[in-house]
Amino acid sequence: MSQVNRLSGGLVDRETALDFSFDGKRYQGVAGDTLASALLANGVRLMGRSFKYHRPRGVLSAGSEEPNALVELRDGARREPNTRATCVELYDGLLANSQNRIGSLRFDAMAVNDLLSPFLAAGFYYKTFMWPRAFWEKVYEPIIRNAAGLGRLSKQEDPDSYDKGFLHCDLLIVGAGPAGLAAALTAGRSGKRVILADEDFRMGGRLNCETFALGDQSGADWAAATVAELTGMDNVRLLPRTTVLGAFDHGIYAAVERVSDHLTQPAANRVRQTLWRIYASRTLLTAGATERPVAFENNDRPGIMLAGAMRSYANRWAVTPGQKVAVFTNNDDGLRTAVDLAAKGVTIAAVIDSRKDATPLEGFNHLRGALVVNSRGRLGLREISVRLADGSLHKIACDALGVSGGWNPNVQLTCHQRGRPVWDDTLAAFVPGGSLPTGMSVAGAAMGDMTTTGALVSGARAAMEALELSGSAPDMPQAEDAPCSPTPLWFVSEGKGRAWVDLQNDVTVKDVKLSHQEGFVSVEHLKRYTTLGMATDQGKTSNVTALAVMAELTGKTIPETGTTIFRPPYTPVAIGAFAGRSSGKDFRPTRLTPSHKWAGEQGAEFVEVGAWLRAQWFPKAGESSWRQSVDREVLAVRKSVGVCDVTTLGKIDVQGADAATFLNRIYCNGFAKLAVGKVRYGLMLREDGMAMDDGTAARMAEDHFVVTTTTANAVGISRHMEFARQCLWPDLDVTLISTTEAWAQYAVAGPNARKLLQKIVDPEFDISNEAFPFMGCGEITVCGGLRARLFRISFSGELAFELAVPTQYGDALIRRLMAEGEEFDVVAYGTETLGVLRIEKGHAAGNELNGQTSALNLGMGRMVSKKKDSIGSILSEREGMTADRHRFVGFKAVNAGDAVVAGAHLMNKGSVENAANDQGWVSSAAYSPVLGSSIGIGFLVDGDTRLGEIMVAANPLEGSSVNVEVVSAHFVDPDGERLRG
């Protein structure tokens, strides 16, 4: 079809023809078209099927308030459902399809729903589909699910990227119509930092859609000239194609910029959209107003649209919506649609004006005191029925009807921080209320200032006030100033059929009446019962009409009926924009250990430990299962020597004259008297007496300790210690700083650990057992003078040390250790082996320190010193804490082949497996290659007196139960002889 409805003029570039397809058919449009304007230009009126009744629908509006013309844009992985055709900037090769139909748009099989409409009124699903009960899950729900929704997701991974960004400004202006442009000009010329955002690709708002003159220029020319001047200002940032979607606390706004949606696809490395977080000292909302229709029977046919939208299509896009156009209005604004279209040579069939006393419009068939009461033309408007003032009924042939019920200021952003709008009787509309978000003011039509002069002047003045500029606002060009006073008409009561209020969710005047009849009278109930205003258009063309209907039914005024709250986002936002770059592997930053590169070369398997990647085990050739690797590593460590990267454990440097005093209060056990050159195991309690974290503190000097924490709690313990330092004891002489990252640290463990280290540690440092006993520490040098720290501590239960060097040398150190260790058959071991070794030794770790266990439970009750104050000590003595009889013990599988499972609960043999009989739980478990059996550790009621008992480790969730023997948790070297040699 050629562009049968194309008119002359407009703001489009006829020289640039663009090919596009809709529902498989090829069309042409021009640069500057939207998909909606291009379809209308080609005579296409049928653009969609409604949500519930599958009624044929055409485009209602020319903007983001569009409820009907929702299409699936693009195909393949980039297919985007529910895209408003009015907001799609046409590009060459654009592909779009209508949605929500079975079959074609013309022959939708689901249109049968329209025939079933008496059964599908509001809330029908609360009253039907109840019997038989079994049918709900298997029959009704699947059918309803299939029928529900509008567009379809591609279900493929989004191939596009999205950015986030952060902008700061003195004044954020939301909306670049006449008010916003006047404000931007005023603010920009003052030198302040300004951001001007508009959802459209061409700034100017209504100036691009009306035929008003501004001074001696057209509105569109003035807008373009203003944009050009603003573009030249360094202090002004223009953000077209950008929707400010929400007003958040303290002047923070979110805006989504559609960077590449108007291109076939984003250019290489470019994002599709950017989500901006804007920090605005002040904000001016100049978002304009949205027109509202009038409801009447069958008011939803393709070809029936908002009268203002018709002017937009005619004046901006040079498109007539039809060949024979009628207008239905309750205000002067609607009359201009007839005038503007007639000026372009379009035949105006009639102007139906509900106002009996309106000034007659010369040269037009102006029917005053008349109402449109019905329409015909299922796939496209053919005829309207009009009730004249004298009561007679006339049919008027037309293929397009422009409807104007007045304009609603776009107040949404003023309400995002709990504000409610207030009713203005003159405008018969809601305007911003008194409580606005911090720093926000409103001007132009958004404030209820509906004329062009009003917009220009109020925009400029508002900018002056917002920025506290002295002097007077810049002069604005002369423009029209005609007041807009609609005579309220919300719906035409004549007619037995359905009159639509919410076009997208298919909610009719009858539904509002039904809601009232059923007792859902409050506006909050009305919304949820009928689903009015809950679709993707959030009721932009329906909310106020619905309130008016309910108000009439209840005998209240509209302000008495109230409104529901508006929440972000103003229009739908792709989830990808909220994710930004945080997707896939980049979901969050990754922390790599100093030995990461080396471990990768060894083919290590890695595991995520918080943000860290740690080597989990190091498979060797011929090993097909992780158990083989881990068993081998465990045996090798206990037989000779192994090396493990333990850099990830938190390290906190504590210095000051009161360092020891401070640590003495942080740990439940004593540190005041720890000698220089010694390390001690420490347990930290939470203030409520529960175990919080464990680690070691090494005294490097009188006033200098190095504290370690578990990997998982490194950040939290730092925070906790800073709280104690700054808030609890602000005058203690103690400083803290994290050194987790600054030192690479390796555990060297096994009977040959010392021998290996003696090849690394410089000869002037004696690390014999006599010179460097168990739990000693010191500053040394290695490999010919490199500064290092050595700690003789053992997590594995073997003779062990931890060696730390500045991180940049960590890679070289592991390579040197492994090379020098070859003569001892040194193994590298990962976190799995680390875990097996410490379970065999009976050391508590994260699973045991889960915040639900006390020192008593852990068998460390005596560590909690009663002689000094420490965090948690008082509340650890509470009766409820001391009465808890769970004690830390070990478990060994009775049958060699059985696996003890962490998380299993302990039951007496023969008792019913339920919570009442719960005796405790297994917190950690592993296969011990040393014992040749699966073992576990955990907490058992009176466990310390039940050694030897056989219990059931119950795992009902996975359907297994295993007999276990209660044993000491210290499976290997219980007397600690290996540690001290």
Partner 1 sequence: MDNLKAITPLGSSTPRQDQVAGVTLVENCDVALASVAQRMGATISGLDLPAVGKSLAGDPFSVFWTAPGQWMIEAPMNSHEDIVPALLQHLDGAVSITEQSGGWARFDISGEGTIPVLERLVMLDLDALQPGDTARSTLDHIGVFLIRRGAQKFTLYAPRSSAASLHHALLQAMRAVL
Partner 2 sequence: MIINHPLLGPRDSQEFTYLGDASLMHRPDRQGENAGEAFYEYQYQRDNPAGLHRELWYHEQGDRSWLVVTRDTTTHEITDVKLARDVARSEGRST
Instruction: Tell me the closest approach of the beta carbon of residue 579 to partner 1, in angstroms.
Output: 13
Q: Given the complex with partner 2, which of 622 and 730 has the nearer CB atom?
A: 730
Which of partner 2, partner 1, none interacts with 251 (beta carbon under 5 to 8 A by kind)? partner 2
Side chain identity, residue 888: F
Among the listed ranges 117-125, 408-416, 869-877, 957-965, the one in contact with partner 2 (CB under 8 A) is 869-877
> Which position among 107, 119, 126, 279 is part of the footprint of partner 2 (CB under 8 A)?
279
Q: Given the complex with partner 2, which of 742 and 875 has the nearer CB atom?
A: 875
Which of partner 2, partner 1, none interacts with 874 (beta carbon under 5 to 8 A by kind)? partner 2
User: 28 — alpha (psi -120 to 50), left (phi > 0) or beta?
Assistant: beta
Among the listed ranges 302-310, 329-337, 724-732, 789-797, the one in contact with partner 2 (CB under 8 A) is 724-732
Instruction: Tell me the closest approach of the beta carbon of residue 725 to partner 2, in angstroms.
Output: 9
Q: Report the alpha-carbon distance of residue 641 to residue 634 in Å, rounded.
A: 10
Among the listed ranges 114-122, 465-473, 826-834, 872-880, the one in contact with partner 2 (CB under 8 A) is 872-880
Which of partner 2, partner 1, none interacts with 812 (beta carbon under 5 to 8 A by kind)? partner 1
> Which position among 24, 730, 784, 948 is part of the footprint of partner 2 (CB under 8 A)?
730
> Which position among 148, 728, 947, 950 is part of the footprint of partner 2 (CB under 8 A)?
728
Among the listed ranges 130-138, 610-618, 868-876, 934-942, the one in contact with partner 2 (CB under 8 A) is 868-876
Q: Report the alpha-carbon distance of residue 631 to residue 930 in Å, rounded.
A: 9
Q: Is residue 562 near partner 1 by the rule CB under 8 A?
A: no
Could you tell me the sign of the dihedral formed by the alpha carbons of 519, 525, 530, 533, in that order?
positive
Binders of partner 2 among 227-256, rule CB under 8 A? 249-252
Q: Report the alpha-carbon distance of residue 183 to residue 965 in Å, rounded.
A: 80
Please give the structure tokens belonging to residue 126.
Answer: 């609360």
| Count of CB atoms situated within 10 Å of the CB of 703 | 17
Which of partner 1, partner 2, none interacts with 163 (beta carbon under 5 to 8 A by kind)? partner 1
Q: Please give the sequence-ordered ranges of beta strands (E in DSSP) within 807-850, or none if there are none.
A: 827-828
Residue partners of 759: CB distance under 8 A and separation at least 6: 820
Give the phi and the psi of residue 215 in degrees, each rounded to 5: 65, -130
Taking residues 625 to 664 in sequence order and writing x for each that binds partner 1 by CB under 8 A, - otherwise, the string is ----------------------------x-xxxx------
Q: Is residue 249 near partner 1 by the rule CB under 8 A?
A: no
Taking residues 704 to 723 in sequence order and writing x for each that binds partner 2 by CB under 8 A, - otherwise, the string is -----------x---x--xx
Which of partner 1, partner 2, none interacts with 619 (beta carbon under 5 to 8 A by kind)? none
Binders of partner 2 among 556-595, rule CB under 8 A? none
Taking residues 415 to 434 in sequence order and writing x for each that binds partner 2 by CB under 8 A, - otherwise, the string is ---x----------------
Among the listed ranges 391-399, 729-737, 825-833, 940-948, the one in contact with partner 2 (CB under 8 A) is 729-737
Which of partner 1, partner 2, none interacts with 877 (beta carbon under 5 to 8 A by kind)? partner 2
Instruction: Assign 315 to helix, strand or coil.
Output: helix
User: 668 — alpha (psi -120 to 50), left (phi > 0) or beta?
Assistant: alpha
Query: How far is CA 951 from its chain centroid?
Result: 48
Q: Given the complex with partner 1, which of 769 and 808 has the nearer CB atom?
A: 808
Instruction: Tell me the closest approach of the beta carbon of residue 242 to partner 1, in angstroms.
Output: 14
Side chain identity, residue 637: V
Please give the structure tokens belonging to residue 830.
Answer: 């990962």
Binders of partner 1 among 125-184, rule CB under 8 A? 161, 163-168
Binders of partner 2 among 104-163, rule CB under 8 A? none
| Count of CB atoms situated within 10 Å of the CB of 369 | 15
Instruction: Assign 612 to helix, strand or coil.
Output: strand
> Which position among 878, 882, 908, 981 is part of the footprint of partner 2 (CB under 8 A)?
878
Could you tell me the sign of the dihedral formed by the alpha carbons of 697, 698, 701, 705, in that order?
negative
Instruction: Assign 56 to helix, strand or coil.
Output: strand
Which of partner 2, partner 1, none interacts with 742 (beta carbon under 5 to 8 A by kind)? partner 1
Which of partner 2, partner 1, none interacts with 317 (beta carbon under 5 to 8 A by kind)? none
Q: Is residue 375 near partner 1 by the rule CB under 8 A?
A: no
- DSSP annotation of 109: G
Q: Is residue 783 near partner 1 by the rule CB under 8 A?
A: yes
Query: How many residues are there in the chain?
Result: 981
Kindly write down the DSSP assignment for every residue of 911-959, as one continuous string. S--SGGG--EEEEEEEEETTTTEEEEEEEEETGGG-TT-EEEEEETTTT
Taking residues 189 to 218 in sequence order and writing x for each that binds partner 1 by CB under 8 A, - otherwise, the string is ----x-------------------------
Side chain identity, residue 790: L
Q: Given the complex with partner 1, which of 488 and 576 has the nearer CB atom?
A: 576
Helical packing angle, 178-189 and 219-231, nearest 10°: 30
Q: Please give the sequence-ordered ranges of beta strands (E in DSSP) within 647-794, or none if there are none.
A: 651-655, 679-685, 691-701, 704-708, 735-738, 743-749, 777-782, 786-791
Q: Given the complex with partner 1, which of 608 and 733 has the nearer CB atom?
A: 733
Please give the structure tokens belonging to residue 668.
Answer: 């439940």
Q: Given the complex with partner 2, which of 249 and 764 has the nearer CB atom?
A: 249
| Count of CB atoms situated within 10 Å of the CB of 119 | 10
Give the phi and the psi of residue 244 in degrees, each rounded to 5: -80, 110
CB 314 within 8 A of CB 7: yes
Q: Is residue 912 near partner 2 by the rule CB under 8 A?
A: no
Give me the residue label for tokens 């056990």. 669
Distance (Å) of CA 574 to CA 88, 257, 273, 386, 571: 15, 11, 9, 43, 10
CB 256 within 8 A of CB 416: no
Instruction: Assign 345 to helix, strand or coil.
Output: coil
Could you tell me the sign of the dihedral formed by the alpha carbons of 908, 911, 917, 921, in that order?
positive
Q: Is residue 589 near partner 1 by the rule CB under 8 A?
A: yes
Among the listed ranges 380-388, 508-516, 748-756, 807-815, the one in contact with partner 1 (CB under 8 A) is 807-815
Which of partner 1, partner 2, none interacts with 362 (beta carbon under 5 to 8 A by kind)? none
Q: Given the complex with partner 2, which of 687 and 825 has the nearer CB atom?
A: 687
Q: Given the complex with partner 1, which of 235 and 438 has the nearer CB atom?
A: 235
Which of partner 2, partner 1, none interacts with 976 (beta carbon under 5 to 8 A by kind)? none
Q: Is residue 555 near partner 1 by the rule CB under 8 A?
A: no
Kindly write down the DSSP assignment for every residue of 354-410, as one continuous string. S-TTPPP-TTS-EEET-EEEEEE-SSS--EEEEE-TTS-EEEEE-SEEEEE--EEE-
Q: What is the contact surface with partner 2 in residues (CB under 8 A)?
A: 249-252, 279, 418, 438, 658, 687-688, 715, 719, 722-723, 726-732, 869, 873-875, 877-878
Give contact residues for partner 1 (rule: CB under 8 A). Answer: 161, 163-168, 193, 269-271, 274, 277, 279, 581-582, 586, 588-593, 596-597, 611-612, 653, 655-658, 731-735, 737-744, 762, 782-787, 805-813, 816
